[in-house]
Amino acid sequence: MAAFQKAAGFKIKNDSLLNLSFMHRSYSNETEKKANNERLEFLGDSILGAVCATILFETYPDKNEGELAKIKAVVVSEDILSVIAQNLHIDKMLLLGKGEENSGGRTKKAILADAMEALIGALYIDMGYKAAFDFVSRCIKPEIDCVSGENYHKDYKSLLQEYCQQVFRCYPEYCLVKKSGPEHERTFWMEVRINETVYGNGTGRNKKSAEQEAAKVAYEALQGNRSE
């Protein structure tokens, strides 16, 4: 814990709170503990959103609400949060149940992103908003800089729709293939079809993220075919 906090650049006074931020529901279920990191995740998600919105508002006075919202959606996405969590070695700190451990839970984007948000929540409770703001800012400012360029938003659904209209004269169609898992941790499988042909598949914690993943696969495949 001490080494983790030193590398992350903060020192939480309440070690049990920090420990709780890494405690996945699967661990609490198997050990009959009542608490897990879901409440902290709920709180941390709001803190993360507020910090990101503040940074964007102050950094880009010329961008409108829609542009800021697109950048924010990417920066606080599961994909980016899970990478930040891995860079902080949160994957090594996770407390998982045996089943989740055996199924590769330490590498699952959703679990890593949730733990990242829970950690933000723990930091806010223990040290206040300024400490949480400083930590989140250090983590996401480089990501904001990275995605705020010419192709910052990576909105593959929009890119694919524009491509389909230009090339196929139609709109892509997204279809739910299946969904699994309990309500609090559901996984969705989506596919995108163009003129009844499947061009991409994606998974995510909600339909929107699964559609984005499917659109990305389809768009990149179509771009690759065009360049050949």
Per-residue burial over 100-125, b if 16 or more Cβ lie within 10 Å, else e, is bbeeebbebbbbbbbbbbbbbbbbbb
In the set 41, 91, 117, 213, the catalytic residue is 117
**Which residues are CB-contacts of 145 (< 8 A; sequence separation ≥ 6)?**
none
Let me know: does 12 contact 18? Beta carbons within 8 Å: yes
| Sign of the Cα pseudo-torsion (215, 107, 26, 128, in order) | negative
- To the query of whether residue 126 is one of the catalytic residues in this protein, the response is no
- Quote the CA–CA distance of 31 and 35 in Å, as a whole number: 10
The rounded distance, in Å, linking the Cα atoms of 187 and 205 is 5
Q: How far apart are CA 195 and CA 171, in angstroms?
A: 8
Whether 117 is catalytic is yes
Query: With 0-12 CB in 10 A as exposed, 13-18 as middle and 19+ as buried, what is 36?
Result: buried
Structure tokens at 222: 């179509």
Residue numbers annotated as active site? 45, 117
